Amino acid sequence: MVPAPPAPARGPISARARAVTAAAPYLEGLNPEQRLAVETLDGAVLVLAGAGTGKTRVLTTRIGHIMATGRARGSQILAVTFTNKAAREMKHRIGALVGGEVEGMPWLGTFHSIGVKILRRHAELAGLKSGFTILDTDDQIRLLKQVLDVASVDKERWPARQLAGLIDGWKNRGQTPDMVPKGEAASFADGKGGQLYAEYQKRLKELNAVDFGDLLVECVRLFREHPDVLADYRSRFRYILVDEYQDTNTVQYLWLKLLALGRETPLVGKAAGSDNASPNVCCVGDDDQSIYGWRGAEVDNILRFDKDFPGATVIRLERNYRSTGHILAAASHVIAMNQGRLGKTLFTDGVKGEKVTVTGVWDDTEEARIVGDEIERLRKGGHKLNEIAVLMRASFQMRAFEDRFITLGMPYRVIGGPRFYERAEIKDAIAYLEVVHNPTHDLKFERIVNVPKRGIGDTTVHRIIAHSRARAIPLAIAAAEMVQADELSPKTRRSLNDLLASIERWRSRIAGMRHTDLAEMIFDESGYTAMLQADKSPQAQSRLENLKELVRFMHDFDTLEGFLEHVSLVMDIDSGNDGERVTLMTLHAAKGLEFDTVFLPGWEEGLFPHQRALDESGLKGLEEERRLAYVGLTRAKKRARVSFTENRRTRGLFQSATPSRFVDELPEADVEVIEAKGPFSGAYRSLGGGGGAGGYGGGSRFDNEAFKSSYQTPGWQRAQQHSQQQGSGPGQGGHGHAHGAGQGQAQGRPGGTSGSAYGAGQTKRWPDKGGARTPRLIEGQVLASSTGSASEFKRGDRVFHEKFGYGAVSEVDGNKLTVDFEKAGQKKVVDSFVERG
């Protein structure tokens, strides 16, 4: 049911608020709805903020307003976000608003960071010691493996990962081992699922550790079991604000309800306003942008807000300040196909702007090519590369774009690859630091005990673990005891002893030297740096760089301890990633961002909507996929470019694809069909042309029939011939090597190489250079022959490339090089992307 439109602010509240307004410049420039959202301070408020309607501004202004009106001090406001990034942004903006640092808001943070804060204060009540450690996903898996071992579960059939997923899911729903539904608990390891979960929790307690899920589950338990503690927080938090409410999962929801209402169920049938606990809770979100159902988010939370908080004020922000008319209309039309939504109608006063374009192409290579060409064109027209993004459904799609951009010399950055703290070398490094800081951190100890390899293998580790279990002591102590005894072979014994001695030695230096120097010392003396230096693989270099980056980052902290506390929670680093670059990322990663021009490739059935979402979640899954389409479109300020391929390469082989149903859901009036200008566009062109001008003659414009028939056209056949020639042609064969998805290259190239090395205006375009020089046109080659400047490299030079590693130059053409990479095969690259190897 769609809640009634918001009633205007009433009585004394508005009067009071208005009185303030005169002296509150921050309220100026807000539209009426935004202002209402800022000024409705009493009771529960749900702000439905459509894409680009000024959500963050409302949230931050509201906080500023609460403080400015003296209703509460910063320390009495609880403001939760999902990501550290969002928390940072909010802090920053409130700071700008209030003028000054936001030291006064200790309770602004992520659900998890606030959860830790609360748990640390009452650790004993939660059955923990105050210095408990927080396990990351890696530690979690490690621990689960041990649990599976002890229970002698076949790890082949029942991987620890899967159990981790299940436990995560249970924790997301706030279920402790005894609360897990029997059927579900039985679904793992022949009915042992529940037991294993219980065992895992027991081990966590023994280790004085919690995982991410526990930060909330344990908090909820604390609140339930200790009403006095809950009451304390309830009186402390006069105002509660929640960002991205549509993304909350069940524990977060319970957590909030306990804090806001003091109980988990709303008063049924009671007059809402009479509840003098008066939860001043304000949730901001957009049901249409709920795209995290698969990791436990419950859209229902936002859909039933007014049932949880009877009498809640619902305010809709529908005035969009981001996108031009056609884009907004297209997005709205698509999202309107969804059933379960609260319903909003976004509008804009701005210009209609350009229509959303739809282009069908032959395959992913051509798709990347037309996108690259268009970006080239836009850049020449003065478009900022930072204002361009390519948003895709799945990360494997990025490959084609990266390849193409490298060929073009187009600077790009990838967001959402493996993040900094997820890289193996960083985890190793942090594990060392953690062990030095706290030698009883068993999982970290286990991680580094044989990295770099020092002859302490699985058997030894297992014996240490067994010993530590038997005596209920930490691994490091167990190891020390075993070194004293004659348990181990002399070699192992010595090696282990050296390690333990080193740890002690480093530990004794904590107080005496700068933590950054200590870190360097540790990486050096442990042999870790030496290991990377000895590593000839192409990634080793950037790994060393990452370590340096880590040490640089440590400078921001005063102590080792401070640094470690930070990283256990914040798996994120703000690295200077500046410079003009095109952004490549997934649709998920794009939520909350905006760009002038947005490319949306891969709109094909099976990929988007993703087949798996459909199979596993049916209509619900489809609607979430549709919301993803909505999120994608609404990222665009001025230009949105949708494309789909007719042939998608999956698992190495080509499969013909059908355009996404979402393409058909775009409203005719706001869309323009564009022909691909490449040589492979025959099929689509025939469709667009054959279907009548515009191609919108009712029914599906892109359905299978149309495509089937187009397969007979000359264009298609030509294209097919082409692709066959290409497939076997030189320079194409290299496709598919060495991408090493996520090998620390996630940032694209490091600074230094500049896109400007690639002279604009020198590019000759398809297809004018036809068969004159080569019978087959191989992409990249035309470009390769067209640049004037001579390269500093010559045939036979050995070079190093950030992404492809080492190789030898086999051909030089202007500033384009053909290089035979040792690992990656033959690639064409721009010389500015390589250095002498």
Partner DNA sequence: CTTAGCGGCCTTTTT
Partner DNA sequence: GGCCGCTAAG
- List the one residue from 3, 742, 759, 837 that touches DNA (CB under 7 A): 742
Residues 791-820: x where in contact with DNA by CB under 7 A, - otherwise, as a string: ------------------------------
Q: How many residues bind DNA (CB under 7 A)?
A: 55
Q: Which of 397, 325, 331 is nearest to 367 (CA)?
A: 397
142 binds DNA (CB under 7 A): no
Dihedral (CA of 5, 304, 298, 172) sign: positive
Q: Is 639 among the catalytic positions?
A: no
Interaction between residue 490 and DNA (CB under 7 A): no
SS3 at position 69: coil
Contact at 8 Å (CB) between 819 and 799? yes
Tokens of 668: 């005719």
Gyration radius of the chain over CA positions: 29
Residue with smaller CB distance to DNA, 145 or 469: 145
Q: Is 747 a catalytic residue?
A: no
Give the number of other Cβ atoms within 10 Å of residue 152's Cβ: 7
Cβ-count burial of 668 within 10 angstroms (0-12 exposed, 13-18 middle, 19+ buried)?
Answer: middle
Distance CA 156, CA 159 (A): 6
The answer to whether 289 and 317 are in contact (CB under 8 A) is: no
Listed in sequence order, the DSSP H helices in 598-643 are 611-634
Identify whether the C-beta of residue 381 lies closer than 8 Å to the C-beta of residue 558.
no
Shortest reach from residue 740's CB to DNA, in Å:
4
Candidate residues 69, 187, 440, 450; the one interacting with DNA per rule CB under 7 A: 450
Least gap, CB of 150 to DNA (angstroms)? 15
Contact stretch for DNA (CB under 7 A) within 198-206, 304-312, 478-486, 609-617: 609-617
Task: Output the CA–CA distances (angstroms, integers) from residue 684 to 322, 368, 649, 713, in the order listed.
Answer: 32, 16, 18, 10
485 scored as a contact of DNA (CB under 7 A)? no
Binding mask 144-163 for DNA (x = CB under 7 A): -x---------xx--xx---
Among 178, 228, 458, 486, binds DNA (CB under 7 A): 458
Q: Which one, 156 or 178, has the nearer CB to DNA?
A: 156
| Near DNA by CB under 7 A: residue from 125, 571, 573, 808 | 571
How far apart are CB 293 and DNA at their closest, in Å? 8
356 phi and psi angles, rounded to 5 deg:
-70, 135
Site for DNA in 616-655 (CB under 7 A): 616, 651-652
**Closest separation in Å from C-beta 99 to DNA:** 27
Which one of residues 27, 35, 74, 82 is an interface residue with DNA (CB under 7 A)? 82
Closest to 341 measured CA to CA, from 287, 278, 281: 287
Q: Verify binding: residue 536, DNA, rule CB under 7 A.
A: no
Neighbours of 181 (CB within 10 A): 12
Name the DSSP letter for residue 384. -
Q: Which helix (H) or strand (E) holds 268?
A: none
Interacting residues with DNA between 196 and 225 (CB under 7 A): 212-213
Q: What token pair was written down for 433? A: 């630091």
H helices, E strands: number in the chain: 34, 21
Beta pairing partners, 477? none
- Cβ proximity to DNA: between 145 and 221 the closer is 145
Distance between CA atoms of residues 319 and 328, nearest Å: 11
- Options 78-86, 669-677, 754-762, 826-834: segment touching DNA (CB under 7 A): 78-86
Respond yes or no: is residue 55 known to be catalytic. Answer: yes
Are 147 and 203 within 8 A, CB to CB?
yes
- Within residues 378-437, the interface with DNA by CB under 7 A covers 393-396, 416, 419
Report the distance separating Cα 219 and Cα 126, nearest Å.
8
Applying CB under 7 A, does 80 fall inside the site for DNA? no
Q: Exactly one of 16, 71, 85, 798 binds DNA (CB under 7 A); which one?
A: 85
- Contact between 600 and DNA by CB under 7 A: the answer reads no
457 binds DNA (CB under 7 A): yes
Q: Cis omega (within 30 of 0) on the bond before 6?
A: no
Considering 81, 246, 289, 586, which one is annotated as catalytic?
289
278, 459, 700, 756: which one binds DNA (CB under 7 A) = 459
> What would you measure as the largest C-alpha separation in the chain, in angstroms?
87
Nearest-approach distance from CB 816 to DNA, in angstroms = 23
Can residue 741 be called a binding residue for DNA (CB under 7 A)?
yes
**The one among 110, 250, 745, 787 contacting DNA by CB under 7 A:** 110
| 517 flagged as catalytic | no
Residue among 244, 306, 374, 604 flagged as catalytic? 244
CB-based contact 51:630 (threshold 8 Å): yes
Residue 585 beta carbon to DNA: minimum distance, rounded to whole angstroms: 7
Of 396 and 557, which has the nearer Cβ to DNA? 396
Alpha carbon 526 to chain centroid, angstroms: 33
Among 21, 137, 338, 438, binds DNA (CB under 7 A): 137
Specify the amino acid at residue 472: A
Catalytic residue among 16, 21, 42, 56: 56
- Decide if 162 is catalytic: no
Helix, strand, coil share (%) of the chain residues, nearest 5: 50, 15, 35
The DSSP H or E segment spanning 836 is: strand 834-836
Chain centre distance of CA 716: 38
Helix 424-437 with 538-554: angle, nearest 10 deg? 40
What span, in angstroms and rounded, lies between the C-alpha atoms of 778 and 793? 22
Question: In the window 292-351, what residues touch DNA (CB under 7 A)?
Answer: 294-295
Residue from 34, 61, 83, 250 touching DNA (CB under 7 A): that is 83
Q: Find the shortest distance in angstroms from Cβ 115 to DNA.
A: 8
CB of 756 to DNA, least distance (A): 30
What's the closest the beta carbon of residue 835 comes to DNA, in angstroms?
22
Give the DSSP H or E segment for 362: strand 356-363
Is residue 493 a contact point for DNA (CB under 7 A)? no
Nearest to 108 by CA among 120, 92, 122: 92
Task: Check residue 21 for interaction with DNA (CB under 7 A).
Answer: no
CB of 659 to DNA, least distance (A): 18
What residues from 505 to 534 belong to the interface with DNA (CB under 7 A)?
Answer: none
Across-strand partners of 242? 80, 283
Site string for DNA, 346-385 (x = CB under 7 A): ----------------------------------------
Q: Is 113 in the site for DNA (CB under 7 A)?
A: yes
d(CA 714, CA 730): 25
Least distance in angstroms from the C-beta of 550 to DNA:
17
Q: Does 460 bind DNA (CB under 7 A)?
A: yes
Rounded Cα–Cα distance for residues 171 and 199 (Å): 15
Residue 422 Cβ vs DNA, minimum distance, rounded to whole Å: 8
The residue whose two tokens read 């940072």 is 88
Where does residue 69 fall: left (phi above 0), alpha (psi -120 to 50 degrees), or beta otherwise?
A: alpha
Smallest distance from the beta carbon of 317 to DNA, in angstroms?
24
Give 596's DSSP letter: E
Catalytic residue among 33, 34, 39, 55: 55
Q: Which of 55, 62, 112, 661 binds DNA (CB under 7 A)?
A: 112
Q: Which of 427, 635, 637, 649 is catalytic?
A: 635
Coil, strand, or helix at residue 535? coil
117 binds DNA (CB under 7 A): no
244 catalytic, yes or no?
yes
Span interacting with DNA, options 106-114, 256-264, 271-279, 524-532, rule CB under 7 A: 106-114
Q: Which amino acid is residue 186, in one-letter code?
A: A
Footprint on this chain of DNA (rule: CB under 7 A)? 82-85, 110, 112-113, 137, 145, 155-156, 159-160, 168, 212-213, 294-295, 393-396, 416, 419, 450, 453-460, 492, 569-572, 585-586, 588-589, 610, 612-613, 616, 651-652, 736-742
Which residues are annotated as catalytic? 55-56, 243-244, 289, 635
